Amino acid sequence: MSATPTTTVDYGRAESPVQVIEVNNLRKGFGTEDVLMNVSLKLFNGENLVVLGKSGSGKSVLIKCIVRLLDPDEGTIKVFGEDVSTLNQFELGELRKKIGFLFQSGALYDSMTVKQNLEFPLRRIKRDLNQKEINEKVEEVLENVGLPDTLDKMPSQLSGGMRKRISLARTLMIDPSIMLYDEPTTGLDPVTSDEISTLINAVQKKYKTSSIIITHDIECARTTADRVIMLLNGEVYMEGELTEFEKSTDTSIKSFFK
Amino acid sequence: MKIIIPVTKVKKVATERSIRIVEKTIARTVEAGNFLTNIADGFLFVTRVAKETFSRNFEFKEFMRQCYQIGNKSLPLISVTGLIIGVVLTIQMRPALVSFGAVSMLPGMVAISLIREMGPVITALICAGKISSGMGAELGSMRVSEQIDAMEVSSVNPFKYLVVTRVLAATLMIPLLVLYADALGILGCWAGANIKGDVTFVLFASQAFGHIGFNDLMPAIIKTFFFGAVIGIVGCYKGYTAGRGTESVGIAANSAVVLASLLVIIIDLIAVQITDML
C-alpha cells in the first residue's frame, strides 16, 4: 500500500522541489537479522518528512545510514546528489557540515559546559572565527532555542527537554541545510514535546532546513509533518500526507493513530 | 562374558560424538578467528594513532588537559606507593645485609632495584589500574551515550580529539610519574634506614647514587615511554571500540586494566632481555 507523492508537490516553500536526499533500495542488517529491507525515499528541499514506525522498525538505522554512521549492506544514498558510500573521509566530513543530527539522548558532551558544547563544532569547522563572533553565534542559537541563561551549566544540570534544546542549538551552530531528528520528543512530557515540535518548525522556517523527523509520537508528526512515511518490519508500508494516514482503514496504520 | 552392544546404538553414539567434535572444531575456529581479528583491529588502531598524531590541527588544549588529568591527579597515589615501597624494601633487605656486614650497600641496592625495576613496573601497574580503566570507562560511556557519534556527524574527528591526546599524554606523563615515584622511593629508603639505624641524608645519597650508572637509568626511562604508550592505547582502544550497551562500559574498563597490566609485564620482560644483551 503506497501513496507516493510526485515531485511536483509543493509544500509552500519552493516552486519546484529539489531532492536533497534520495535513498534507493536500502538494506541494512545486523548479524542474520535484516532491519531495513529495500527502503526507498526522497527528501525535498524545505520539507519536513516524518518517518513513523514502531520501536525496532529501523527508523534510527535509516538516518544513521544517511550520515554514514552505519554502512548500508545494499542500496544507494545520495545527499545533494553525492553518493554517500563512495565519499572519502574528507568529502564525508565536508558533507556532514551541511547536516545537523539531533540524537535521541541529546548526546551532549557531559564533561563540557553548555557554552563549550556549542563552541566545540564551530571552533573546529570555522577556524577563522574570533572569540567575539563565536560568542555572538552561541548567544544567537541559545536565544533561538529559548534558553539564553544556560551558558555555564553542565549537561547534568539540565532537564530532558533542555538537553534536547541545547543539543538542537549545537547542531544549529554550523548552519546545516538538512536536519535529521532522531525521536526528538521521546521521554518528554506532552507540554515539552509540543514545545520541541514547535521549535522544529521554527528552526525550519528560520534556517530554511529540510528535515527528516524520526518519531512514533503522532502529536509531533501532526505539528511538523509535510509528508509522512511509515516503516513496518523494515519496509516502507505507506507514504503520503498525514490526512491520508488518518483516513486509512488499514489496521496497522489505524492502531498507530488511535 | 561377552557384551553385546546393538549396532544401531553404536552408530548413534558414533554419530553424536562426531557431531560434537565438529561443533567443537567450529567453535575453536571461530574463537581463533575472533582472536586474530582482535589483534588485527589493535594493530590498525595503533597505526591510526601514529598517523593521526602527525596530521594537522593537533588538539593541544585537550592534550594539556589530559596531561593534567593523568599526571597531577595520579600524584597522591604514586606518592604514597613510592614512599611505602622504599620503606618496605629497606626493612626487608636490611637483615640479610646486616648478616653479611654489608649494611652500607643498602642504599645502593634499594636505589638500583627501585630505578631499574620496582619503580617503573609498580608505577605502570598502578597507572594501568587507574588511568587505563578510566580511559576505557570514559570513552566507553561516550560511545554508549552517542557522544562519539555526535562528534563524528558534526564533522569533528573524535579519534584525534579523544584518542590521540590521551595516548600522547599517557606516553609523556607515565615516565615523569615513574621518576617521581623513584625519587620518593629513595626518600622512603632513607626513612627506612633511619628506623633501625642513623644515616645522614648526605651520606645516604652518596651511597645510593654512587652505585647508579647510565646503564641503570636510561633503559629504565626508555621502557617507561613504552609503558605509557601501552596504557594509553589499551585504555582508549577498549573504550573507543566498546559495544552499545551499558554493560560494555564495565567490560571496557575491566579488560583495559587486565590487558594493559599484562602488556606492561611483557614489555618489561622484553626490555630486561634487551638491556641484558647490551
In a shared domain, residues B23 and B105: no
In a shared domain, residues B8 and B119: no
Q: Which of B29, B54, B79 is the last residue before a domain boundary?
A: B54
Q: For residue A192, is pLDDT > 50? A: yes
What local confidence, expressed as pLDDT, does residue B33 receive?
83
- Chain segment A25-74, per-residue pLDDT in tens: 999 998 888 899 989 999 999 999 999 988 888 899 999 999 999 999 99
Of the candidates B145, B146, B155, the beta carbon closest to that of A121 is on: B155
Q: How far is residue A121's CA from residue B151's CA, in Å, rounded to a whole number?
A: 8
What local confidence, expressed as pLDDT, does residue A64 receive?
94
Of the candidates A93, A107, A170, the beta carbon closest to that of B145 is on: A107
Q: How far is residue B18's CA from residue A147's CA, in Å, rounded to a whole number?
A: 68
- Domain total for chain B? 2
Q: For residue A4, is pLDDT > 80? A: no
Which of A255, A195, A242, A184 shows the shortest CA–CA distance to A11? A242
Q: How far is residue B38's CA from residue B257's CA, in Å, rounded to a whole number?
A: 17
- Chain segment A102-137, per-residue pLDDT in tens: 998 889 999 999 999 999 999 888 888 889 999 999
All residues of chain B having their beta carbon less than 8 Å from the beta carbon of residue A174 are 154-155
What local confidence, expressed as pLDDT, does residue A50 receive?
94
In a shared domain, residues B10 and B73: no
- Chain segment B13-72, per-residue pLDDT in tens: 777 888 888 888 888 888 888 888 888 999 999 999 999 999 888 899 999 999 999 999
What local confidence, expressed as pLDDT, does residue B4 receive?
64
Pick the residue from chain A with its C-alpha nearest to B58: A124
In a shared domain, residues B48 and B131: no
The CATH class of the A19-256 domain is alpha beta
- The ranges of chain B with pLDDT < 50 are none
- Chain segment A135-186, per-residue pLDDT in tens: 999 999 998 888 888 899 999 999 888 999 999 999 999 889 999 999 998 8
ipTM of the shown complex: 0.86
Pick the residue from chain A with its C-alpha nearest to B57: A124
Question: Helix B75-99 crosses helix B165-196 at what angle (to 10 degrees)?
Answer: 40
Residue B159: other Cβ atoms inside 10 A:
19
Handedness of CA B252, B254, B260, B263 (dihedral sign): negative
A113 burial class (0-12, 13-18, 19+ CB within 10 angstroms)? middle
- 3 state SS of A256: helix
In a shared domain, residues B183 and B82: yes
Give me the domain span that covers residue B66. 59-277
Distance from B154 to chain A by nearest Cα, in Å? Answer: 6
Q: Between chain A and chain B, how many beta carbons pairs sit less than 8 Å apart?
A: 54
B41 touches chain A (CB under 8 A): no
What local confidence, expressed as pLDDT, does residue A211 receive?
94
Question: For A198, left (φ over 0), alpha (ψ -120 to 50), or beta?
Answer: alpha
Q: How far is residue B166's CA from residue B104's CA, in Å, rounded to a whole number?
A: 43
Least confident stretch, A6-20, A190-204, B172-186: A6-20
Pair A235, A51: CB distance under 8 Å = no
In a shared domain, residues B94 and B176: yes
Residue A147: other Cβ atoms inside 10 A:
19
All residues of chain B having their beta carbon less than 8 Å from the beta carbon of residue A120 are 151, 154, 156
A151 touches chain B (CB under 8 A): no
- Chain segment A222-255, per-residue pLDDT in tens: 999 999 999 988 889 999 998 888 888 888 888 8
